[in-house]
Structure 1
Amino acid sequence: MPFGSTTTAEEVVAALADEIKGRNVLITGTSLNGLGFETARVIAKYANLVVITGYNTERLKISEDALRKEVASANIRPLVLDLASFVSVRRAAAEVNAYPENIDVLINNAAAALGPFKLTPDGFEQQLVTGHLGPFLFTALILPKILSAHNASYTPRVVYVSSGAHGQWGTGVNLGELEQPNASTYHAITAYAQTKSANILTPSELTRRAGGRIHAYSLSPGAILTNFVESAEVQEALLAAGFITEDGKPNLNSRLTWTTLPRGASTIIVAAFDPSLNDTPGAYLVQCSEANKNVAPHTADPVMAGKLWSLSERLVDVKFL
């Protein structure tokens, strides 16, 4: 079936069931009412293993229990992962590397909520760490598990959940601010846009460096009222920008293209499993289809992708591919 703007995650899974069967999938950021949880929920019926992550043990247990209740046959494995802490990332990666299974698909979905300027324990801005540096380090450290899934008939995938906000709200990744955060120039929405630019530049460079051993993709799921916007700080920022109304509902007159959780997750699943994408590794997807033309020029520059990669390696102290 053709996939498009109204396709749901359930429909994509039904069409790609044979591609999902037997696969080991790791999804970051899987709390209830989020894209990661919805993705885990619909693929759990077919995947061999679904690893779900969260920084909070209690919330992670809630997600695990909900998934097991809905899909009794599912093989769900929780992993405590705080992407804002390099210590936590290294601990979680060591746990993954001790798994008996390979990782066929890694979905880097987790992100920090919009909020005031805050430094992580490692001295970097929280949004850029949770959405970029943390996932960069985690992906680098579990790379052996991903590469081990490669064979003559299958190429493992790494998927990054980005956003159209990378172009609407920002001007690309400010490498200086990534390395040396500046509270006086910080703006929550700009930091979010920088993170989402990084989520497009990184898979592009990952695909290039992997030389056919890994296919990486990025995507925009659309604007969705998920658990990401539950906090008062996020709602305040979105209200100030005119993206939601006073009652917390989507502002349909804003420049955002609002969609639903099932429709947003559908694009993640296409990026993770659709074999038709094998010929376009590194692609950016919107509404279940390749949409490289939608990538802003400041985020389509391979030179910038290389610079971001090199700086990220230095900041997390890991050589990656």
Structure 2
Amino acid sequence: MWLWVQSVLVPLLTLYLCGVKVLIYQLFNRSFTLPALPKQNGRVAIVTGGTRGMGFETARHLARLGMHVIIAGNERDEGLAAVRRIHEEISEGKAEFVFVDLTSLTSVRRFAQTFKVRGLPLHVLVNNAGTMLVPERQTEDGFEFHFGLNYLGHFLLTHLLLDSLSRSGRHGCCSRIVNVSSATHYAGVLNLDDLNRRTCYSSHGAYSQSKLALVLFTYYLQEQLTAGGFSVTVNAVDPGMVDTALYDNLWSLAQAMKKPVAKILFRTPAEGAATAIYAAAAQEVEEVGGCYLYNGHKTRSSDLSYSSELQANLWRRSCELVGLKEAETLCCGLTRSIEGFTSETHM
């Protein structure tokens, strides 16, 4: 009984408390308004989960700025429809859809390899795709679904594309990684010995854990990039509570309660995407990394997310889980700069 209270009831109540706090904030504060952004002609961006919701709004806005945007997703029809919509609206940028299933490490590796073969630069990677409150299930590689899709797939994708990002960035014009997290990370806990949450499953706890992992990853990766002198920045963004399909897995009662509240207090997908777009393109955050951005402003994330020990241990464990070897862990220079750490990872 006590295990159920700790593992199921507490995460549920904590997550909904986070939601109430966010709604109160949104009741009394306007959504972030994007400043005028510089043109991005010639720059290339990848946006995961860009077929709908905030991902689509992010892809559309970056394309409007002149970027070549690659929408990475696992719904081909939705992806092609999203590309058509963008091309109907813009004249300077370009959009295309490329299939990737972030719940499959094989698919992630195939996507990264296909991109590299094309020889394109990569200036922006927006790790946006996610799922929330799905019933207990696993990815094809055996990982808890939230952890595998929201975090681990993006962890691997980012590492496989770091060499492209590092080659494309330069001083005064960095390449940028944007990790879309959530206020639910404040409720997150991380048990490195039970990342699949097999002891006692809670979809609320699993979702919060995956979003905390993204923040921990953001901070540790930025530390390594800075130490290596690379012109790549990485930031985590919190979109707030946004009226998207992410809430489709709520309980029936919660769904009924959510609908009228969403009309009044939730952000629109365009409003929710604003901070991610800002992190991807604004001059104000040039060469600024290792931040948690909420409603367009730098905000303190959870106390747990600043644990250097937890950041390093999660990094090490994640490398083991996705099967990264030293040669493919990071771009060559960065690998050299942390060769002591990576060799320890694979002891």
Aligned to 2:32: 7
> Offset of 1:301 from its aligned partner?
1.2
Aligned to 2:276: 268
Larger Rg: 2
Aligned to 2:80: 61
Q: Alignment partner of 2:259: what SS? A: coil
Match for 2:50 among 27, 30, 33? 30
> Offset of 1:274 from its aligned partner?
2.2
Change in CA separation of 1:51 and 1:165 when aligned onto 2, cut-off 3 Å: same
Q: Alignment partner of 1:17: what SS? A: coil
Task: In structure 2, list runs of 5 or more residues that go unmatched.
Answer: 1-28, 331-347
Report the identity percentage: 29
Q: Is the 8 A contact 1:245 1:251 kept in 2?
A: no
RMSD, matched Cα:
2.1
> Offset of 1:201 from its aligned partner?
0.8
Residue 88 of structure 1 pairs with residue 107 of structure 2: yes
> Offset of 1:71 from its aligned partner?
2.0
Aligned to 1:281: 289
Aligned to 1:311: 317
> Offset of 1:251 from its aligned partner?
6.2
Q: Alignment partner of 1:134: what SS? A: helix
CA distance in 1, matches of 2:49, 2:157: 13
Residue 188 of structure 1 pairs with residue 203 of structure 2: yes
> Offset of 1:282 from its aligned partner?
0.4
Aligned to 2:122: 103
Aligned to 1:39: 58
Aligned to 1:222: 240
In the alignment of these two chains, the number of paired residues is: 296
Output the amino acid matched with 1:226: T
CA distance in 2, matches of 1:274, 1:164: 22
Match for 1:259 among 250, 255, 267? 267
Q: Which has the higher helix share?
A: 2
Q: Is the 8 A contact 1:53 1:79 kept in 2?
A: yes
> Offset of 1:265 from its aligned partner?
1.0
Q: Alignment partner of 2:218: what SS? A: helix
Residue 157 of structure 1 pairs with residue 172 of structure 2: no
Q: Is the 8 A contact 1:24 1:47 kept in 2?
A: no
Match for 1:176 among 167, 180, 193? 193
Match for 2:38 among 14, 17, 20? 17
Q: Is the 8 A contact 1:22 1:46 kept in 2?
A: no
Change in CA separation of 1:66 and 1:124 when aligned onto 2, cut-off 3 Å: same
Change in CA separation of 1:306 and 1:5 when aligned onto 2, cut-off 3 Å: farther
CA distance in 1, matches of 2:267, 2:241: 6
Change in CA separation of 1:271 and 1:186 when aligned onto 2, cut-off 3 Å: same
TM-score, reference length from structure 2: 0.80
Task: In structure 1, list runs of 5 or more residues that go unmatched.
Answer: none
Output the amino acid matched with 2:37: L
TM-score, reference length from structure 1: 0.86
Alignment of 1:130-145 (within 5 A): 130-145=149-164
> Offset of 1:181 from its aligned partner?
4.1
- The structure 1 segments of at least 4 consecutive aligned residues displaced by more than 6 Å after TM superposition are none
CA distance in 1, matches of 2:51, 2:193: 32
CA distance in 2, matches of 1:76, 1:136: 24
CA distance in 2, matches of 1:289, 1:22: 27
